[in-house]
C-alpha cells in the first residue's frame, strides 16, 4: 500500500479501449452531428451494444455517464484495503470518450443520468423492470433551475397511480430515452422533503414533447422540453421512500449528485485534453518549443500559456480522481465531488477558450474542432450544478453553514 | 554550561514529548512500531544531549563503505490510493503537532529576528528529521525511497511555520541528497554526522540573484584543476548559511553542464552574508559567495551527471511545494474561523458569497496543489520519471500559492495586514516558496 495517483493498472485496458472508441467512432462524426442538430447519431447503437457486451464481460465498470454507483465494485480486492471501482472506472472512460466528443457521450443509449438515479435508489423490483433501459432525468423547470427544491411539478396519488402535472425542460436525451425520471412534489407546502422522483415511460401519453432546444454546444445530444398533463404512472414508479419525511429524503436525492458530479468533471477533463493536445501540436508546428523543466518565464508566452493550462488541467484531473476514489471507498465525498466539478468546469471552458486564442483563425474556424470543444465545454460548468452552486456547496461545508445562512 | 543545561533540559523535554506523541498513537498499539518511526523514537530517547556549538568540524570517514548504500524503490499495488501508510500517518501527526506546538509559537519572533532559535534546530534534529532520507545501513531511518514521507512531514512542519520549517529541513535535504547520489567515499565522510548526535547545519545552494533565473543555466562556474575543481560565483537565499558547515552547491561544470559539489564551510574562499528576504525570514537566508574555492576531486557529486543535477532540481521543487501546501493549509485553517466570527452589517461575513466563495477557491486550489505534489513525489519514490509532474506541482504551488496568501490577507482585511495575525507572514512566505529553487530537497 502506498500513495499512488496514477491510472490504476487494472483500468488501463479500459482506458485504451475507450480511447479507441473516442478516436474511431466519435471523432469521425463529431462535426457531422454538431451541424445536424437533432439528427439521431445511429453510429451509437452499435457502440452501445458493444459496450454492453464489454460490461457483461466484466471488469470495465461501465463506460458512460450512467455508470456511477453508490459503492465501488469490489472486484476481488482484499477487504480493508483501498478499492478502485466503478466510479473511478467510469470517470476514466468518460475522460477518454469526451476527448472524442461530449455530445456523443451524452447521447450514448442506456447511459442517461436517469440510469444513475435508478441505480442509486431503485428497489429490486424496479431495478428489474427498468434495468437495461435508457433513462433520462427531468429536474429543471422554467422557474426552477439550480434551486431544485423549488420545483413546481406535482404528483398526486389517485388510487394505484400518481398523477403528474407540470413542465420540465433541459431533459438530456429526453426524446431518445425509453424512460424519464421526473422530479415532482407530493406537497408544495412541505418543501424539499416532499420532492420525489418518478419513472415515466417515454411513451406515456401524458408526457408531451414540447420542443427540442437549439444549443450553443453538445448539439449531438438532444435536449427536450416536456409538459406533463395528467400524466398517470403506477404507484410503484416512485423511486425510494413514498413517505414525506422532514429529514433526509431530499438529501438522499441530492446524494446522486455526489456520484454524478465527478463524472461531469471527467467530461470537462476529456474535452480540455483534446484542446490541449491539439494546441500543443499546433504550437509545435509553429516552431514553439516547450520545456517543462525551465521556468515558464524564460520561454515564449505561448509556451508559458500552455504550461499554465496543463497545470490547471492536472489539478482538475486529480481532484476528479480523488472524488471518484472516495466514492469507490464509501467515503463521504460531497465536498470533493463539488471541488472536482467546480475546478474542472471552469478549467474546461477556460482552457478551450485560451487554446483558441493560441490557434487563432484555425482556432475559431470550423475546419478544426477546437471552436466546437469550447462550445461543448461551456455546458459542463452549468449542468449538474453550476460553478456558483458548487462554490456554495463547498463553502457551506467548510464554514458549516446552512442554506438559510449562506444563501 | 548553564546555557547548555538549558538547551539540554528543553531538548530532553521535547524528546519526552515526542515519545509521548509516538506512544499515544493508536497505530503503535495496533501494529507495533515499525520503521522509520521506530528508528526516530530510538533517536528521540537516546542519551546525551550535545552542546549547541556549531564550530566547524572536520569531516572524516571513520569507516569506509565498500560501495554506496541506496534506498529501494517503493512498490505499488497499482491502485489509485491517497492513504498514507501507518508510518507516514504517524510521522505526519507527530510533525503536525511539533509544527503547531513548537514552530507556530516561535514564528513571529523568529521572523522578526531573521533567525531560527538554536534550541529549535536541535529539537528538530533530535526528532531525526535528517534520518528520513538516509538508508538504515548508514544509520538512517528508512530502507525505501521516502520523498512522499518527507513531503508529508514538510507539509506538516510548514503548517506550523514556513520559515522555521525551511530552517530545520535544510540539513535533511543535504543528507537525502548524499544518500541518493553520494558515492561510497562521500557517504562515509559526510553522512555519519547527519545521523549522529550533533547534526551539522547544511544546505543545498542552487539559486543565484538575477531576473529570469533558471537553475539549469548557472553563472557559478566550476573549473577543473589538478584533479579537483575551483568554484567561483555566488548563491542566493541559502537557508542558515551563516551557521552551516556543509553546502551542496550547484555550479556549471565546464564542458559538462550544471553539477553538484560538496563544499565545506571551512574551505578557503567561502563567505556568507545575511540576505533577508520578503519571506522565509526565520530561515536566516544568506548569500553564499565562492571566491576561487579549491575543492578536491571527491567534491563532485554523481560524477557530474546532468541527470543527477536535474533530479536534484526537481526534488527541491517538490520540497518547496510541500512547504507551500502546508502554509496554504494554515491560511485556510485560519480564515475559516475568522470569517465565521467576524461580523459586518449584523452578521458573519461568511454569510456573503463574495467572502464564502473566496474560501471555497482557496480550498479547491490548495487541494489541487497537494494532489499534484503527491503524484510527483510518489512517482519519485517508485523511481519513475517525475520531472513533468514536478513542474506541474511547482507551477500550481507558485501561482495558486501566492494567490492563496494574498486572499488570506484580503479576507482578514486590515487585520490581515498587521503583524498581530500570522496571515501577513503567510502572504510573504507563499510568495517566496514559489520563487525558491534548491535549498530544500525531498
Q: What is the CATH number of the domain that holds A188?
A: 2.40.110.10
Look up the CATH number of the domain holding residue A382: 1.20.140.10
Residue A102 touches partner B, C-beta closer than 8 Å: no
A265 & A204 share domain: no
> Do A392 and A259 share a structural domain?
yes
Final residue of a structural domain among A239, A271, A298: A239
B-chain residues near A298 (CB < 8 A): 212, 214
- Please indicate, yes or no, whether residues A258 and A200 belong to a single structural domain of this protein: no
* A46 and A87 belong to one structural domain: yes
In A, which residues are within 8 Å of B348 by CB distance? 405
Average pLDDT (A80-100) is: 93
- B392 CB within 8 Å of a chain A CB: yes
pLDDT of residue B58: 86
Predicted pLDDT at B388: 97
Question: At A157, is the pLDDT very low, low, confident or very high (cuts 50, 70, 90)?
Answer: very high
Residue A126 belongs to some domain of the structure? no
For residue A55, what pLDDT is reported? 60
State whether A171 and A92 are in the same domain. Answer: no
Active site residue A384: yes
- Asked if residue A404 belongs to a domain, the reply is no
Distance from CA of B226 to the nearest CA of A (A): 33
Same-domain pairing of A201 and A287: no
Region A49-54 average pLDDT: 70
Using pLDDT thresholds of 50, 70 and 90, give the confidence band for residue A298.
very high
Q: Given A184, A212, A239, which residue is the final one in a domain? A: A239
Q: Which residue has the higher pLDDT, B8 or A164?
A: A164
Is A257 part of any domain?
yes
CATH number assigned to the domain comprising residue A94: 1.10.540
Inside any domain, residue A4: no
Residues of B in contact with A342 (CB under 8 A): 360, 364
Q: Which CATH class is domain B204-304?
A: mainly beta
Model's pTM, two decimal places? 0.91
Among the partner-chain residues A2, A297, A318, the one whose CB lies closest to the CB of B76 is A2
What is the predicted pLDDT for the residue at B126? Answer: 86
Does one domain contain both A109 and A139?
no
User: What integer pLDDT is reported at residue A192 of this predicted model?
Assistant: 85
Give the number of domains in chain A.
3
> B212, A84: Cβ pair inside 8 Å?
no
Q: With respect to CATH, is domain B307-433 assigned 1.20.140.10?
A: yes
Residue A81 — very low, low, confident or very high, per pLDDT cuts 50/70/90?
confident
Give the per-residue pLDDT at B323: 98
Q: Do domains B2-48+82-200 and B307-433 have the same CATH topology?
A: no
A406 touches chain B (CB under 8 A): yes
Q: Are residues A224 and A256 in the same domain?
A: no
Which positions 203-242 of B are in contact with A (Cβ < 8 Å)? 212-214, 216
Residue A94 lies in a domain: yes
**Cβ neighbours of A312 in B, within 8 Å:** 396
Mean pLDDT of A368-394: 97
Three state DSSP letters for chain B: CHHHHHHHHHHHHHHHHHHHHHHHCHHHHHHCCCCCHHHHHHHHCCCCCCCCCCCCCCCCCCCCCCCCCCCECCCCCCCCECCCCHHHHHHHHHHHHHHHHHHHHHHHHHHHHCCCCHHHHHHHHHCCHHHCCCEHHHCCCECECCHHHHHHHHHHHHHHCHHHHHHHHHHHHHHHHHHHHCCHHHHHHHCHHHHCCCCCCEEEECCCCCCCCCCCCCCCEEEEECCEEEEEEEEEEECCHHHCCEEEEEEEECCCEEEEEEEECCCCCEEEEECCCCCCHHHCCEEEEEEEEEECHHHEEHHHCHHHHHHHHHHHHHHHHHHHHHHHHHHHHHHHHHHHHCEECCEEHHHCHHHHHHHHHHHHHHHHHHHHHHHHHHHHHCCCCCHHHHHHHHHHHHHHHHHHHHHHHHHHCHHHHCCCCCHHHHHHHHHHHCCCCCECCC
How far apart, in whole angstroms, are the C-alpha atoms of residue B329 and residue B184? 40
Residues 171-190 of B with CB under 8 A from A: none
Residue of A nearest to B145 (CA): A2
pLDDT for A232? 98
Query: Which of the four pLDDT bands, split at 50, 70 and 90, describes residue A46?
Result: confident
Q: Which of B30, B75, B80, B82 to mutate to test the interface with A (most CBs of A within 10 A)?
A: B80
Same domain, A24 and A156: no
Question: In B, which residues are within 8 Å of A406 by CB distance?
Answer: 350-351, 353, 356
Structural domain boundaries, residue A274: 249-399
Q: Which of A117, A146, A162 lies at the terminal end of a domain, its last residue?
A: A117
For residue A395, list chain B residues with Cβ-Cβ distance below 8 A: 350, 353, 356-357, 359-360
Mutate to test the interface with A, among B307, B364, B387, B442 (most CBs of A within 10 A): B364
| Pair (A170, A105) in one structural domain | no
- CA distance, residue A262 to nearest chain B CA (Å): 14
> Which range among A77-91, A167-181, A343-357, B83-97 shows the weakest confidence by mean pLDDT?
A77-91
Give the residue extent of every domain in chain B. 2-48+82-200, 204-304, 307-433
pLDDT at A191: 84
Domain match, A194 and A331 both: no
- Find residues 313-352 of chain A whose CB sits inside 8 Å of chain B: 314-316, 318-319, 321-322, 325, 336, 339, 342-343
Q: Considering the domain boundaries, does residue A20 fall inside one?
A: yes
pLDDT for A71 beyond 60: no
Q: In terms of CA atoms, which chain B residue is nearest residue A6?
A: B80
Across the interface, whether the CB atoms of A394 and B360 are under 8 A apart is answered yes
Q: Do B372 and A312 touch (CB under 8 A)?
A: no
Is A127 a domain residue? no
In this structure, the answer to whether residues A380 and A352 fall within a common structural domain is yes
The whole-angstrom distance between B153's CA and the closest CA on chain A is 14
Tell the CATH superfamily of the B2-48+82-200 domain: Acyl-CoA dehydrogenase/oxidase, N-terminal domain (1.10.540.10)
Closest CA to A373 of A267, A223, A271: A271
Closest CA to A180 of A226, A125, A122: A226
Residue A376 lies in a domain: yes
Q: Which of A49-58, A117-126, A131-140 has the lowest mean pLDDT?
A: A49-58
Closest residue in B to A9 (Cα) is B78
What average pLDDT does the structure give for chain A?
90
- Per-residue confidence in pLDDT tens, chain B, 442 aa: 233 333 333 333 444 445 555 544 444 444 444 455 655 655 544 433 333 334 578 898 888 888 999 999 998 889 999 999 999 999 999 999 999 999 999 999 999 999 999 999 988 888 889 999 999 989 898 999 999 999 999 999 999 999 999 999 999 999 999 999 999 999 999 999 999 889 999 999 999 999 999 999 999 999 999 999 999 999 999 999 999 999 999 999 998 999 999 999 999 999 999 999 999 999 999 999 999 999 999 999 999 999 999 999 999 999 999 999 999 999 999 999 999 999 999 999 999 999 999 999 999 999 999 999 999 999 999 999 999 999 999 999 999 999 999 999 999 999 999 999 999 999 999 999 999 999 999 9
Amino acid at each position: 500500500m502506498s500513495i499512488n495517483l496514477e491510472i490504476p493498472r487494472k483500468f488501463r485496458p479500459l482506458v485504451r479501449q475507450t480511447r479507441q472508441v473516442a478516436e474511431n467512432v466519435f471523432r469521425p462524426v463529431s462535426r457531422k452531428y454538431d451541424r445536424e442538430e437533432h439528427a439521431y447519431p445511429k453510429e451509437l447503437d452499435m457502440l452501445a451494444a458493444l459496450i454492453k457486451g464489454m460490461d457483461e464481460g466484466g471488469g470495465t465498470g461501465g463506460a458512460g455517464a450512467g455508470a456511477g454507483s453508490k459503492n465501488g465494485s469490489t472486484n476481488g480486492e482484499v477487504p480493508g484495503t483501498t478499492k478502485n471501482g466503478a466510479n473511478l472506472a467510469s470517470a476514466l472512460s468518460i475522460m477518454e470518450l469526451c476527448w472524442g466528443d461530449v455530445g456523443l457521450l451524452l447521447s450514448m443509449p442506456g447511459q442517461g443520468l436517469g440510469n444513475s438515479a435508478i441505480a442509486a435508489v431503485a428497489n429490486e423490483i424496479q431495478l428489474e423492470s427498468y434495468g437495461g433501459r435508457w433513462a433520462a432525468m427531468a429536474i429543471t423547470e422554467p422557474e426552477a433551475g439550480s434551486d431544485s427544491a423549488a420545483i413546481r411539478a406535482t404528483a398526486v396519488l389517485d388510487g394505484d397511480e400518481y398523477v403528474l402535472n407540470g413542465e420540465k425542460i433541459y431533459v438530456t436525451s429526453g426524446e431518445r430515452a425509453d424512460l424519464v425520471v421526473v422530479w415532482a412534489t407530493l406537497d408544495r407546502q412541505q418543501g424539499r422533503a416532499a420532492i420525489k422522483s418518478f419513472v415515466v415511460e417515454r411513451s406515456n401519453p401524458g408526457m408531451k414533447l414540447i420542443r427540442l432546444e437549439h444549443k450553443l454546444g453538445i448539439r449531438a445530444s438532444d435536449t427536450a422540453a416536456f409538459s406533463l398533463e395528467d400524466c398517470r404512472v403506477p404507484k410503484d414508479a416512485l423511486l425510494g421512500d413514498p413517505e414525506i419525511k422532514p429529514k433526509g429524503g431530499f438529501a438522499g436525492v441530492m446524494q446522486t449528485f455526489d456520484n454524478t458530479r465527478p463524472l461531469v468533471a471527467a467530461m470537462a477533463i476529456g474535452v480540455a485534453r483534446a484542446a490541449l493536445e491539439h494546441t500543443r501540436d499546433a504550437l509545435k508546428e509553429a516552431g514553439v518549443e516547450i520545456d517543462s523543466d525551465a521556468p515558464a518565464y524564460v520561454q515564449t508566452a505561448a509556451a508559458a500559456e500552455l504550461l499554465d493550462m496543463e497545470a490547471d488541467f492536472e489539478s482538475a484531473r486529480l481532484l476528479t480522481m480523488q472524488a471518484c476514489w472516495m466514492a469507490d471507498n464509501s467515503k463521504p465525498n460531497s465536498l470533493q465531488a463539488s471541488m472536482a466539478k467546480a475546478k474542472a468546469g471552469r478549467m474546461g471552458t477556460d482552457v478551450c477558450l485560451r487554446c483558441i486564442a493560441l490557434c487563432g483563425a484555425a482556432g475559431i474556424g470550423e475546419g478544426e474542432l477546437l471552436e466546437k470543444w469550447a462550445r461543448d465545454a461551456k455546458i459542463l460548468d452549468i449542468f449538474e450544478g453550476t460553478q456558483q452552486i458548487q462554490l456554495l456547496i463547498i463553502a457551506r461545508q467548510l464554514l458549516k453553514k446552512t442554506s438559510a445562512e449562506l444563501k | 554550561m548553564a546555557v547548555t543545561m538549558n538547551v539540554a533540559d528543553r531538548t530532553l523535554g521535547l524528546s519526552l514529548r515526542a515519545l509521548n506523541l509516538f506512544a499515544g498513537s493508536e497505530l503503535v498499539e495496533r501494529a507495533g512500531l515499525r520503521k522509520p518511526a521506530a528508528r526516530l523514537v530510538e533517536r528521540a530517547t537516546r542519551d546525551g544531549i550535545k552542546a549547541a556549538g556549531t564550530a566547524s568540524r572536520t569531516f572524516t570517514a571513520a569507516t569506509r563503505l565498500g560501495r554506496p548504500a541506496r534506498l529501494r524503490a517503493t512498490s505499488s499495488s497499482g491502485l489509485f490510493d491517497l492513504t498514507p501508510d501507518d508510518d507516514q500517518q504517524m510521522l505526519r501527526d507527530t510533525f503536525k503537532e511539533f509544527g503547531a506546538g513548537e514552530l507556530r509559537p516561535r514564528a513571529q519572533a523568529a521572523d522578526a529576528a531573521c533567525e531560527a532559535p538554536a534550541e529549535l534546530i536541535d529539537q528538530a534534529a533530535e526528532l531525526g528529521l535528517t534520518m528520513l532520507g538516509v538508508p538504515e545501513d548508514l544509520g538512517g531511518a528508512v530502507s525505501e525511497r521516502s520523498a512522499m514521507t518527507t513531503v508529508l512531514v514538510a507539509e506538516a512542519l510548514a503548517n506550523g511555520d514556513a520559515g522555521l520549517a525551511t530552517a530545520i529541513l535544510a540539513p535533511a535535504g543535504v543528507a537525502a541528497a548524499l544518500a541518493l547520489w553520494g558515492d561510497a567515499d562521500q557517504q562515509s565522510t559526510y553522512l555519519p554526522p547527519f545521523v549522529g548526535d550533533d547534526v551539522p547545519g547544511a544546505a543545498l545552494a542552487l539559486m543565484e540573484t538575477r531576473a529570469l533565473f533558471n537553475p539549469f543555466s548557472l553563472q557559478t562556474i566550476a573549473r577543473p584543476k589538478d584533479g579537483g575543481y575551483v568554484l567561483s560565483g555566488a548563491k542566493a537565499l541559502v537557508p542558515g548559511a551563516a551557521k552551516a558547515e556543509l553546502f551542496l552547491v550547484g555550479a556549471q561544470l565546464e564542458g559538462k553542464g550544471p553539477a553538484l559539489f560538496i563544499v565545506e564551510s571551512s574551505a578557503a574562499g567561502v563567505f556568507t552574508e545575511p540576505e533577508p528576504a520578503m519571506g522565509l525570514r526565520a530561515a536566516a537566508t544568506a548569500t553564499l559567495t565562492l571566491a576561487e574555492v579549491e575543492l578536491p576531486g571527491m567534491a563532485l557529486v554523481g560524477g557530474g551527471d546532468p541527470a543527477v543535477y536535474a533530479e536534484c532540481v526537481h526534488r527541491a521543487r517538490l520540497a518547496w511545494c510541500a512547504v507551500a501546501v502546508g502554509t496554504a493549509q494554515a491560511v485556510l485553517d485560519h480564515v475559516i474561523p475568522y470569517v465565521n466570527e467576524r461580523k459586518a452589517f449584523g452578521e458573519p461575513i461568511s454569510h456573503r458569497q463574495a467572502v464564502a466563495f473566496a474560501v471555497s477557491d482557496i480550498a479547491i486550489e490548495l487541494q489541487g496543489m497537494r494532489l499534484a505534489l503527491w503524484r510527483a513525489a510518489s512517482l519519485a519514490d517508485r523511481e519513475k520519471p517525475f520531472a513533468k509532474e514536478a513542474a506541474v506541482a511547482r507551477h500550481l504551488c507558485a501561482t495558486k500559492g501566492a494567490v492563496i496568501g494574498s486572499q488570506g490577507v484580503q479576507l482578514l482585511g486590515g487585520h490581515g495586514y498587521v503583524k498581530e495575525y500570522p496571515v501577513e507572514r503567510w502572504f510573504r512566505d507563499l510568495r517566496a516558496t514559489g520563487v525558491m529553487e534548491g535549498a530544500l530537497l525531498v
